[in-house]
Every structure is written in C-alpha cells, then in structure tokens.
Structure 1
Amino acid sequence: MTAPHTDVEQVELANTAFYETLERGDFDELSALWLTPADLGVDDEYHDPADSGVISCVHPGWPVLTGRGEVLRSYALIMANTEYIQFFLTDVHVSVTGDTALVTCTENILSGGPSPDDSDELGPLVGQLVVATNVFRRTPEGWKLWSHHASPVLAENDEDDSEDTPT
C-alpha cells in the first residue's frame, strides 16, 4: 500500500468521524476533531492567524464563522437544538496534497427537533440535501478539520420548461 493511498484512507476516516460525532452529539469529541494552533506548534497567546491554521465554518444560511470559539459555539447550539440528526454521505471525493486534504461530499441529512407539544416525542423529521467541503490538516495526532463549508442544494424542477414557452 502506498503512502498517498494511506493518507486518503486516514482522511476518509477523519471525515466519517466528524459526521458520526455530530450524530452522537458528543461535543468534547467534536472539539478534539478541530485544528488548534498547538496542533501546528504555534503559541496560543500570540501568533499570526495566517500561520496558525485558524479554523472556519459556514453552515447553510449562516455567515462565515472564524476561530475555535465561534465555530465550536455554533456546534454547541446545533447540538442543543437538534434532537436527532443523521448524515448519509454520497459523492465523497478526497484529495491529499502534502499536509492538506480536501473532502467534497453531499450530505443527505435527516433531522428532527423536539415535539411541538412539549412531549418527550421527537418532532417531524426533515430531510435536507447539502453539499459540503471539508478541509483537513495533518497534525502529529492525525488529520484534523481546518474548515467546513456547507451549502444547501436547491430542489430541481422536474417539469420541462419548454412546455410553458409560447411558440
């Protein structure tokens, strides 16, 4: 087995761990999956953000979140307000160059929140189709997330537009 192939497999495992951790709602484990300045041997107190691997995240419909505080707070909010979430990943593509890896995929998301009547039941499940780009950096502890960017996929119109066009 060649080293690049091994890297691709390791990145695939790191990407899968990210989504499985979200499904379980394990905030501590999720936090450990994201890059820290210390992962790159950079002083936490003073550093040039361009050199330190400052993390970023874009959730569908949200502004860009930058830095561990903002990014991890967003996941804490999502986890606190989502009773159930499951990801079915399709179209997963991994590219590794040196210590950086890029993963693109389609997130087929099934989620639900609390029941509207305040019972212990799960509210209605909602499906969502999202395309995502996850960027990973190699660290001494393995591959860690550097950036996550997700964007909703608009529903396709199945009707033939030419039928409505006058001739």
Structure 2
Amino acid sequence: MRKSKLQAANLEGDADDIEAAFYDALQRGDIDRLMACWADEDEIICIHPGGPRVVGATAIRATFESMFADGGTVRAWPERARKIVAVGSSVHNVLERVEVLAPAGATVAWVIATNVYHRTAQGWRLVAHHASPGTTSEIQEVSDAPSVLH
C-alpha cells in the first residue's frame, strides 16, 4: 500500500502524533488518513474487540472500510494511556472511551487497546492495534504502585 508524500509529511512527528491522527481518522471515518498511520510492513496486525487477528494492510483496510460503510464512524477517544517509549519503538496501552449508537440511543463503553509504534524510514508508524472488549463502566486499573505518596 503506497502513501502519498503529503500523507507521510503530515504524520512525521512522534508516536503521540500518529496516535492522535489515528483516533481523529477513526472519528471522521477517513480511511485514507487512518491507513496512512500504519507502517508499510507485511506483518502489521489489528485485532478488534472480540475479533480475529487481521494481518496486512489490505485486510486491515477492509475491516475499517466495513466499519465506515454507509457513512459510519467510530467514536473513540483515548482517555488514559500508559506508555513505554524506546529509541525506535513506543507501546501505548490506552483506555478508550467509545460511544456506541444503539436503537435506544448512545451509550458509552470502555475498551482497552494496545497500540505499538515503530520508527520507520517514513517516521513513526503504527504496526499493531489490539483492542480488547471492555465494559459499560469505566475500567479500574490495578497497579502495584502505591496510591498514596508518603
């Protein structure tokens, strides 16, 4: 899958910039901008909540195209993130707030996603997005870090 020079130029910053562009493209239903966030690697992967492992740009694009069919968008916002950043990679574990449109109206659900970014010749790019089903109430975090500093 080829990216235009303009798309690549717009996504040159760091992993945080690519993540912001990814979620913005989801909310806008902009498949070209969304796919411009992904690396040009054969083994990129995407796992939607409860779904199979989808491998490769063509297959990933098809899953998002089906989500965006008939003008649909995905109303997802990264609410909180934990990040592990290295020289050439960045792993973001994100608590996503997702608005789901149902016949009874909009409801909010929470999804836990892990986004993996690598620094490529084209700049930072997404190489893996793995989203796990969440709940309708905000997910509580369990950590071994003390909650109160003394």
**TM-score bin, normalised by smaller chain:** 0.7 to 0.9
SS at match of 1:69: helix
- Matched-pair contact (CA < 8 Å) for 2:67–2:73: no
Structure 2 gaps, min length 5: 1-12, 138-150
One-letter identity of the residue aligned with 1:21: A
Please give the root-mean-square deviation of Cα atoms over the aligned residues, in Å.
Answer: 2.2
Q: Which residue of 1 aligns with 2:59?
A: 70
Q: Percent identity?
A: 30
Matched, 1:94 2:75: no
Q: Which residue of 2 aligns with 1:138?
A: 119
Question: What's the TM-score once normalised by structure 2's chain length?
Answer: 0.74
The Cα offsets for residues 7-56 of structure 1, whole Å up to 9 and x where unpaired, read as xx82111111100011011111111111113xxxxxxxxxxxxxx6x100
- Matched-pair contact (CA < 8 Å) for 1:108–1:128: yes
How many correspondences in the alignment? 125
The alpha-carbon distance between structure 1 residues 81 and 65, as it changes in their structure 2 partners (threshold 3 A), is farther
Structure holding more helix per residue: 1
Larger radius of gyration: 1
More deviation in 134-143 or 77-86? 77-86
**Which residues in structure 2 correspond to 1:119-138 (within 5 Å)?**
124-138=105-119
More deviation in 100-109 or 74-83? 74-83
Structure 1 gaps, min length 5: 1-8, 38-51, 117-122, 157-167
More deviation in 86-95 or 11-20? 86-95
Runs of 4+ in 1 over 4 A off after TM superposition: none
The Cα offsets for residues 75-128 of structure 1, whole Å up to 9 and x where unpaired, read as 111111563432232221222222111011100011337xx7xxxxxx832321
Q: Which of 128, 131, 142 lines up with 1:147 in the alignment?
A: 128
